[in-house]
Structure 1
Amino acid sequence: MSATGERTVRLRLSTVAAVTVLAVASCGITEDEPEPAEEAEGTGEAQPGQDLGEDAPEAEPEEEDEAEEAPRLAQQGVSAGHPLAVEVGEEVLAEGGNAVDAAIAAAFAVGAVEPPASGIGGGGSVILAGPDGDPVFYDFREVVSNDGEIPDSGTGIPGFVAGMGQLHEDYGTQEWADLLEPTRDLAEEGFEVSEYLSQRIGGGWGPEYLSDLEAFSPDGAPLEAGDDLVQPELADTMQQLMDAGWEDYYTGELAESVVEQVDGIDAESLADYEVIQGEPATGAFGDYEIASAAPGLPGAALIQTLQIAEHNGIGDMEPGSAEYISTLSEAWAAGEETMHNDLGDPNFVEVDTGELTDPEANAEVQASGAQAASGDPDASAPNTTHLVVVDEDGLAVSMTNTITDFWGSGKGVDGYFMNNSLMRFETFDSEMNQPEPGRRSVTWSNPTVVMDDQGRPIMPIGTPGGAQILPTTANALILRYLHGMSAQEAVDALRFRNEDSSLYLEEGHDEALLDELSQEGWQPEEWESPSFGSVQLLEIDYETGELTGPDDSRRDGAHAIIGD
């Protein structure tokens, strides 16, 4: 096994079944596919996200007459970037689907109702964690094509559909077409444009990218809040995926269409696309264990930031004070430096996550500053989308999906937008992060799960926000677990991010605080609230079996809890 933890994993699927899943799962067109899972006696239902390790014993089969195991939790929940996506996931859970089923359905749906941020033309990553065993990480982000070239658009080979397909094959309990049908309906029937979506349509690159697209600019005028967005092309694409299966995007009619329309996408690269499985980065924080995205994503940098801030006494500082902001900003400078120098695709470079997440080593880290993202809010890519799901068996899903910048490359294809993810090779231009065929770039997307002292997930969490993702997530975790705030209070707290001596603060900070920060050598600048993302999280209480979740008012995020 490499230092990154990429390997073949054995997953405990339920109390009655076990299966071995390959660490690299292709699009189903290679000859050497995994053996089908063998069902032991009992229910045969899969409970994913529980990695017991390669040498773990097989689960003991239950007696035929043994009663079905009771649910671990009395409630289930969904939190996502749009209430309509939450409704889709909620319905899947109510109809008996598990957390992975609901996450797949909600991920497609949020791509339809929040099209600037994610969708079929992009990619993503996810952590699955259950009450027994270790969490599992999937990386289905975009890759460099087989010729090794980066097109001017920055578009990589999309992985979103393969990721959803692989998750469904490994863990799904509901029919594939049933999970996609709500998104087809949303696209076909339309939905009301929110104020936030209207700002994305009418601002930034929106007018340039959307002016020729009838769905977004009927009669040449951009949609406004309250108008209906109807996406017939997307509905047709969803219907094709429902009828032909997810593989169609890589070897079928949808593949042929995207190859014809998009420079830099070729049939061979699509057919060769692989979803990566492995272990998330893990490390101690307070009384908890953090499981966060594996390299080249920055889970290790998040853990490093948390450990440095904790060592420097942030748990004893007044939240939101100049001292608190400076301490977390300095810790994040070290995390950002790690992103720019020490992370890369683990299939191409060795990344020692154990060293990066060692509390003793991080107690000695001195931040020297990093070349962070631009001081322009839009240029800092405050996009992506995050969703979390928890089902009655305690399975937690934390998933971040993106097309990189808002509207990705701006290229609309068959009702969705293509990514521009490969531009991140330039953003993080280190020896560890150079483009090669099949390679993924370092970037900020960072699904995370907090684990308790028994190794159980207690909070799947994440946020959009580009360069703001890690400091925003770190701030929420510090306020919740070192300061004892409620999840809602932690989400509501004002946010900030530093770049060298510049300090970008969410609008609403006190003028006296800005003056104090200036006196300490910072150059404070206020940004609008939506630039700092929309935290999606759910908390699990195993004693009561109940879930709780906050809503983040900065964008369109929402959550729903089902059950007693």
Structure 2
Amino acid sequence: MNNPFRGLLVALLFPVLALAAEPPAASSTSEAKRPPGYAVASAHPLATDAGLEILAQGGNAFDAAVAVSAALAVVEPTGSGLGGGGFWMIHREFDDLDLVVDGREVAPISATGDMYLDRDGEPVAELSRNGPLASGIPGEPAALVHIARVFGELPLAQLLAPAIRLAQDGFPVDEKLAGAIVDHLARFSPAALAVFVPDGSPLKAGDRLVQSDLAQTLRRFAQGGRDAFYGGETGARMLAGVRRDGGIWQQKDLEDYRIVERKPIVFLAGPYRVTVPPLPSAGGIAFQQVFQILGRKHWPPNDPVLARHQMIEAMRRVYRDRAAWLGDPAFVEVPLEKLLSRDYTDALADSIDLARATPSIELESPNETLREGDTTSHLSIIDAEGNRVSATLSINLGFGSGYMAPGTGYFLNNEMDDFSAKPLAPNAYGLIGTKANVIAPHKRMLSSMTPLMIEGPDGVAVLGTPGGSRIISMTLLASLAYIYGYAPQDIVKLGRYHHQFVPDTVVYEPGAFSQAEIDGLRKLGHQLSESARYYGNMQIVVWDRKARTLSAVSDPRGIGAGRVVMQAPPNTQAGGQGRMIAADRQAN
């Protein structure tokens, strides 16, 4: 993989980062031409095709996002599905509306802060990661219905038709999915084994995967919408299975689930307008903090070792704040004004020693309590009207909890592991947390999912990636690469590196650093660990207004596809002109 910013020639071509106190409004359609067509990038070619199919039928970007999300639930069951959740970042072009549809899972009513601890008060990883006890109440179905109803042009049944077809007719298993089935086989419930290990043999690459139960679930969902998933036959089967096999869900959990519409975090980096998700995603806060820290440091310097050192130290500090302060804003008073203030981030920047790495243990926590994957999926879409969607979806670990309620056909998530089972106890990604992210009924667990959009003088980028705790660092590096002029096909290839405060280690992909950079970072005191494999699966769509081109690129680390159709879809009217969306409120 190529090394990001090697030689830092970009420093000679572009100004250093600078943040405006108040971002300007995004460009309106009267100020810029419409895209010359439409583009979709997702983690699987068949899901990308589903989005293009809907756009060709006259749907808009929001319709396509529903179709792609549902198709990914069928063809990439390792990363997302009806039993999970996610964040859908939406931009509606005709009125410059930006919002986040928060379909994150929530803790069941009967959840307690100590539900995953043993008699000695220590976390039991098995409880929060495997089986239905590990599952939060799914949010993706409610989010898809909401997006289709409020923003879409086509009926839900039409949007789900490609996914239903893929589930019923089947599709060839790819090598990535075949390997994942073998890796997670021991975690599968009997209903899951019946689908992925028929006749006692795991499906192999090239075998046809048919998911009849999932097709039936999708049909009921297509006809009955939200009520047909959280109630009716699907809801009854899901609830019966969960309760029989050790879960604690109640019917009221399903009835009470609501998506939340949220205002995104928007800030300006030089002439670039960056739109990122708010809590319970930790990504938006981390982004603005890092950009402000780097702006204070006049990043990037001419020395590549020093540039990486500054980036790593910025990551260390924002992940420290993630652990100490962040949680569901409906349950926790997060001091956002302070965390995003220039005085605070300037102090963080000034605490970076250019001559040595700061051991994480030396950083004074701002919160007293701190003292005591490749899974997930992403899609990026721009339609011919300029509407766009960046969505990161998840069931957490590969195949989520490994549990499939009999007769439903989809895996339930294990997102309860994203809570802090105990202060400072690491989750599956090694992330720690404090009381801000402890388990409570109806609470949303903190997330690293960071779907985002960047709008600059000449165009727009829509991007995101899976990757657990590394999502934030991956999207940061990619965003900076876009701002500094990298082409989308080069952005997805860039070598990646990551620091998350604890453990106090810089994890980097093979080839991400030169030997001189490795030696230089170690001399500064950084502990380095080369990843055994490449990670992430970025999807990026770029509309270059100046060149009048569209690009859609899928990460070469995965099997996805980015495709562009250089013509307007049949429906050229401004789509999704539904009601204006209030910020941070629940919706059916």
TM bucket normalised to smaller = 0.7 to 0.9
Letter in 1 for 2:106: V
Aligned residues: 480
Q: Please tell me the residue identity of whatever aligns with 2:412.
A: M
Whether contact under 8 Å (1:390, 1:538) holds in the other structure is: yes
> One-letter code of the match for 2:110?
D
Which residue is equivalent to 2:72? 110
1:347-380 deviations in whole A, cap 9, x for unaligned? 1223344443345542321376669xxxxxxxxx
Query: Paired residue for 2:214?
Result: 234
Match of 2:553 among 545, 550, 558: 550
Q: Label 1:317 to 1:466 Cα distance change in 2 as closer, same or farther (>3 A).
A: farther
Match of 1:356 among 327, 339, 352: 339
Select which of 262, 281, 286 maps to 1:278.
Answer: 262
Q: Is the 8 A contact 1:201 1:210 kept in 2?
A: no
Q: Report how far residue 533 of structure 1 moved.
A: 0.8
Matches of 2:548 and 2:360, distance apart in 1? 43
* Aligned with residue 324 of structure 1, among 284, 296, 307: 307
In the TM superposition, what are the counterparts of 1:78-477 in structure 2 within 5 Å?
78-131=40-93, 132-149=95-112, 152=127, 153-203=133-183, 205-209=184-188, 213-262=193-242, 263-298=247-282, 299-317=284-302, 321-359=304-342, 361-365=344-348, 366=351, 381-413=373-405, 414-426=408-420, 427=427, 428-452=432-456, 458-477=460-479
The answer for unaligned runs of 5 or more in structure 1 is 1-51, 53-69, 372-380
CA distance in 2 between counterparts of 1:134 and 1:172 reads 14
Q: Secondary structure at the match of 2:194?
A: coil
Letter matched to residue 101 of structure 1: D
Distance 1:168 1:126 in 2: 12
Amino acid at match of 1:508: G
TM-score normalised by structure 1 residue count: 0.80
CA deviations over 1:292-316 (Å, ceiling 9, x no partner): 1111211111221233234323334
2:482 to 468, 480, 483: 480
Q: How far apart are 1:322 and its partner, in Å?
A: 3.0
Deviates more, 1:103-112 or 1:166-175: 166-175
Asked if the contact 1:295–1:351 (Cα under 8 Å) also holds between the matched residues in 2, the reply is: no
CA distance in 2, matches of 1:93, 1:81: 18
- Shift, 1:271, TM fit: 0.2
Distance 1:315 1:515 in 2: 19
| In 1, Cα distance between equivalents of 2:270 and 2:491 | 16
Question: Would you tell me which structure has more helix in proportion to its own residues?
Answer: 2
Structure 2 vs 1, CA of residues 226 and 311 (structure 1 numbering), >3 Å: closer, same or farther?
Answer: farther
Percent of residue pairs bearing the same amino acid type: 30
Shift of 1:146: 2.0
SS in 2 for 1:138: strand
CA gap of 1:419–1:288, structure 2 versus 1, over 3 A, is same
Deviation at 1:248, TM superposition (A): 1.2
C-alpha contact 2:110 2:249 (8 A) present in aligned 1? no
Residue type matched to 2:159 in 1? L
Separation in structure 1 between the aligned mates of residue 49 and residue 314 of structure 2, nearest angstrom: 38
DSSP-derived class of the 1:363 partner: helix
Q: Structure 2, unaligned stretches of length 5 or more?
A: 1-24, 26-31, 117-126, 128-132, 353-357, 362-372, 421-426, 568-588
Shift in Å, 1:434: 2.4
Contact 1:306/1:331 (8 A) holds in 2: no
Q: 1:281, 1:291 within 8 Å by CA — same for their partners in 2?
A: yes
Question: Residues 76, 284 of structure 1: CA spacing in aligned structure 2 closer, same or farther, 3 A cutoff?
Answer: same
| Separation (CA, whole Å) in 2 of partners of 1:314 and 1:543 | 27
Deviations along 1:144-176, one digit per CA (max 9) or x if unpaired, are 112334574321111110011111111121111
Q: Does 1:522 align with 2:502?
A: no
Alpha-carbon offset, residue 324 of structure 1:
2.8
Alignment-derived partner of residue 495 in structure 1: 496
Query: For residues 288 and 295 of structure 2, what CA distance do their matches in structure 1 show?
Result: 10
Q: CA RMSD in A?
A: 2.3
Q: C-alpha separation between the residues in 2 aligned to 1:521 and 1:95?
A: 57
Amino acid corresponding to residue 105 of structure 1 in structure 2:
A
- Asked if the contact 1:282–1:300 (Cα under 8 Å) also holds between the matched residues in 2, the reply is no
Distance 1:322 1:217 in 2: 49
